[in-house]
Structures are given as C-alpha cells and as structure tokens.
Chains A and B, each alone.
Chain A
Amino acid sequence: MTGTLTIENLHIAARHGDHDHVLVDGISLTIRRGRILALVGSSGCGKSMTCSGAQGVLPPGVRVTGGQVLYDGRPIAPEKLRGHVVAAILQNPRSAFNPVLTMANHAKETLRAVGKLDSGWRSRTLEAFATVGLEDGETVLGLHPFEMSGGMLQRTMIALALLSDAPFLFADEPTTDLDLIVQARILDLLEELARRRNLGVLMITHDMGVVARLADEVAVMENGRIIERATTRDIFDNPQRIATRELVEAHMSLYPEVA
C-alpha cells in the first residue's frame, strides 16, 4: 500500500441544539500517487466537508465523529497531514490569499509550515513559479493579491502546493471561479503536474467537464454517501445511479450537437 492516501469510514456531523446533523456518512476513498480521483456530486452533498474533514480544518461547530486517514496504510493525524503529505488548492483564488501579504511572504509561510524554510527559498520559489507558467517570478514575489489576476493567483496557489513538496493534492473546485480559457489552462497544468511529479490528486468538482478532461476514476456522492465509483469512461458510458446519470446528462446537454 505504498503511495496511497486512504480516507477510511469518515463521519462528519454538525451540532444542532442537542442532536447531531450528519453531513458525511461513512466515506471511504483511496487516492493513489500519479492518479487523479474526482469526487463529484451536487452542491451540499458533503464533498468539500469530506476534504476539510480529512485535513482536520472543519469550520466551527462541525466535527469528525468517526473514521481515520491512512498514509501508506498507517494512520496519520490531521496536523501531520497538512502541508507535509497533502497540499490544498481552494476554489476562489481571490480570497485564498492574505490581502496584506506579498507572494514572497506566502511562499515563505508555506515553506516554514513544513519546516523547509532556508536560504534557498527564493530560488526554489522562482523554480515553482516557472513550473506553473508564471513568467517574471521576481516581480510576482513582490506582488500583493489585489495586484494579480485570478488566473495568476490560481497558478501561484498551485506553485505553493508544489513548493510544499507534498505527494498529494486536494483541489476543491480549483477552476470554478475562473473564466473558461483560464480554466482549461489550469486543468492542463494540474494534469501535467500530477503525471510528471507523480502527485495523487483528489479533485472535488460538480463539473463533469472537468472530470472528463482529467480524472482517472470518479466517486459520486449524494447525501453524505458515495453512491457510485467507477473509471471515468464507465461513468460517462454506463452510469448506474440516477444521480450520476443526471450529472452526466446535465453536462451533455451543454453540447447538444454531440449528444
């Protein structure tokens, strides 16, 4: 079981008054290095909660009520996971950066969090910037978030993820807030990096177009449970469950001439 990250029987609940409201009801997933696993489902089905729950960064009032995360088959605590094993890319790059810090500060913070901040930080950051296609990295280092476009910020966030050198990447709707052209570029970049750097990617999305473009396997979530798992080809060719079929059909209806 080397090169795997397993979420095992994860339960998440929110406290409402004196009873628990179940948000995630026994999810199990295995992410393999070099593979992209898409976790899909409609809004509110618990896919983002699964992701935050595994990383131990749930919002106040929501907690993990059961389950564990295994790294190469051995249980690992969330605080050992974050940054060291799993890097994260969030949905809205505009709000995912601290407005008062420059990109250099962000890069240093990322390295400091995993204990890798040393005198070589600048050259390593510039290298990561170049890898994600940020030209003129020296200038980018001095920029604040408000001085950058959404696409640039998302590239920077991916560069920070690479900088942490974590073998796994959780990408929660990484392209939802970007325009279509930038979306395509970011998805290509993520796929290329996953293959070349042998990253295991958990891609959370409701966009079957994203799934079709780069996922190897798909897990479909509904009401806090996984209702179907299959390879990407099977999900599109032969969806078993109604929710899956709806997601696929909703996607296909955007391209009437193909369907």
Chain B
Amino acid sequence: MRRTVSTLALLLIGLMLIGAVWQPHDPDAIDLSLRFAPPSLDHWLGTDQLGRDVLARLMIGGWRTVAVLGCVAAIGMVGGTVFGVAAAMLEGWRGALILRAGEMFIVVPTLVVALTAAAVFGLNPVTAGVAMGLAGIGPYTLFAHALARRLLAEPFVQAARAMGVGGSGLVVRHVVPNMAPVLFAHIGANAGLAVTAYAALAFLGLGADPSRPDWGAMLFEYRMFLFDHPLLMVWPGLAIAMVSATLNAVFDAH
C-alpha cells in the first residue's frame, strides 16, 4: 500500500512536470472556430470558450502546482529541520526559545499569509509557495524537534558520542539522515493542503495574472459554462482532487 501510493504520487508529479517543457498545443492559441470542441484525437480534453486546448492549459497549471509544492516542501522541510534540530541540540533556554517561536508560528493561518503575499507581490507559484512554506515552518520545527530528540537518545547516537563524534557529526550523519524518511512522508500532509490552498488562491484571483492558467483559475474561468459544458470544470477539479488526495494518502500510509 505504502509503495503503491508513493509510486502513484511520484508518477503524478512526474506527469505534472512534463508541462514545464512540453504541451500538445500552444495553451494561449485562440481559435474561435473550435469553441467548446469535445475531446478528440487532436484535442484530448477538448477546447474551451476561446478554442484553446484544455490539456495544454491543464499541463501549464500542473507544473505551476509542482513549483508551489517544491517551494512549500523545501522551505518547510529545510527551515523546520534546521530549527527543530537546533532546538534539540541546544538544551536550556535557547532551545525553549526556538520551540516557543515555532508554536507561535502554528497559529498563523497559512491561507491568510498566502493571500496577503499574493495581494502584495502578485500571485505566482513562487510567492505563494514561499509564503505558505514560511507559514508552515512552525509545525515542521516542532515535528523535527520531537524526531531529533528521540534520535539523540538512541543508543547508536550515544555510541557515536562516546567514541568522540562531535555535535556537527552527530547532526549530519546520525540525526538528519534518520529523520529524512519520516520528514519526507510528512511533506504529504502539507503538500496536499498546499495544492488545495493554491487552487483556492487562484480561484479567488487576488493578484493573479489572468493569462496564466492555474487549476484554480481554470475553475473560476469555466464556472460560467458549468451547465452547458461541464467537462471544462471537471478536468481541473479532477486534477486538484487527485493530486491532493494522493499526497495525503502518502502521508497517511506512513
């Protein structure tokens, strides 16, 4: 089960990444003679109200979502690991200070931070990803701290210390490598949320560049055709649901 969902998640992310380098058509090419074309061999998922290829737009949205995920995961994981391990290594008031700061970060609502960042800097995968990643450092710090503390009490860490291995060696070779698998699985929870949060931001459209087809923006744009051409909303909706559900399943399976 674990292997199946992990493989599925990697496969999905791989597919989403293709959009960065290749789309079947120009996603912005308007062809009014082809409005609302049903799925065909040439346009696999059909075309929209301007005759644009839906698959091409979905693929652009896909790799932009991966970019968000990458930022959220990298910032949350790196920041959380650095602060969490530091708190575990520094006994006493310095460690406690880091943890209290982490707890204060938890109450900051991720979506509100991301909304603010979108309003100030414009909505794109990097600003949204960085904002959500920073807002996610708090829980990661506490989680990494708990993991690191448990690892520091492990006999193999004690053995290494007794043989003269110093603080940096303990962190680099013993604590972090043994945390990594659990932390990676933990990304799933954050990443699943990040996908829906970014879709919500794009749907709201605050600070968004309308020419960039994010999945949430596609839902917003195609909502007018819900009854006449429901497939247009099904594709991005399905994409968001599948990706966030799979990422959550990876987390649950571990």
A83 at interface by CB-CB < 8 Å: yes
Chain B residue, CB-CB nearest to A90: B159
Q: Which of A96, A98, A110, A112 has the most CB of B within 10 A?
A: A98
Residues on A with C-beta less than 8 A from B157 are 98
Residues on A with C-beta less than 8 A from B163 are 82-83, 87-88, 109-110, 113, 160-161, 164
Residues on A with C-beta less than 8 A from B162 are 52, 55, 57, 82-83, 86, 88, 90, 170
Contact B169 A113 (CB under 8 A): yes
CB-CB under 8 A for A113 and B156, given A100-B177, A101-B173: no
Contact B156 A98 (CB under 8 A): yes
Contact B156 A83 (CB under 8 A): no
Q: A86-118 vs B: 1/0 string, CB under 8 Å?
A: 111011100111111100010001101110000
Q: Please, how many angstroms separate the alpha-carbon atoms of A109 and B154 in the complex?
A: 17
A84 at interface by CB-CB < 8 Å: yes
B155: contacting residue among A96, A112, A114, CB under 8 A = A96
Chain B residue, CB-CB nearest to A97: B156
B87 to chain A, nearest CB (A): 13
B181 to chain A, nearest CB (A): 9
Chain B residue, CB-CB nearest to A161: B163
B158 at interface by CB-CB < 8 Å: yes
A256 at interface by CB-CB < 8 Å: no
A98: contacting residue among B160, B161, B164, CB under 8 A = B160
Q: Please, how many angstroms separate the alpha-carbon atoms of A59 and B163 in the complex?
A: 16
B159: contacting residue among A59, A84, A88, A164, CB under 8 A = A88
B91 at interface by CB-CB < 8 Å: yes
B99 to chain A, nearest CB (A): 14
Interface extent on B, as a size class?
20 to 34
B174 at interface by CB-CB < 8 Å: yes
Q: Please, how many angstroms separate the alpha-carbon atoms of A60 and B157 in the complex?
A: 13
B178 at interface by CB-CB < 8 Å: yes
Contact A113 B166 (CB under 8 A): yes
Q: Please, how many angstroms separate the alpha-carbon atoms of A81 and B174 in the complex?
A: 21
B184 to chain A, nearest CB (A): 13
Chain B residue, CB-CB nearest to A81: B164
Please provide the chain A residues from 136 to 187 with a CB less than 8 Å away from any CB of chain B in the complex: 157, 160-161, 164, 170
Q: Please, how many angstroms separate the alpha-carbon atoms of A113 and B91 in the complex?
A: 23
Please provide the chain A residues from 116 to 143 with a CB less than 8 Å away from any CB of chain B in the complex: none
CB-CB under 8 A for A57 and B158, given A98-B173, A105-B173, A113-B169: yes
24 pairs of residues in contact across A and B, judged by CB atoms under 8 Å? A52-B162, A60-B153, A79-B166, A82-B161, A82-B162, A82-B163, A83-B163, A84-B164, A86-B162, A87-B163, A88-B162, A88-B163, A97-B156, A97-B159, A98-B156, A98-B160, A98-B174, A98-B177, A105-B173, A109-B169, A110-B163, A113-B166, A114-B164, A170-B162
Known: A97-B156, A113-B160. 17 other contacts (CB 8 A): A52-B158, A59-B153, A60-B91, A60-B153, A82-B161, A82-B162, A90-B159, A92-B155, A95-B154, A96-B155, A96-B156, A98-B173, A109-B173, A110-B163, A112-B165, A112-B169, A113-B164
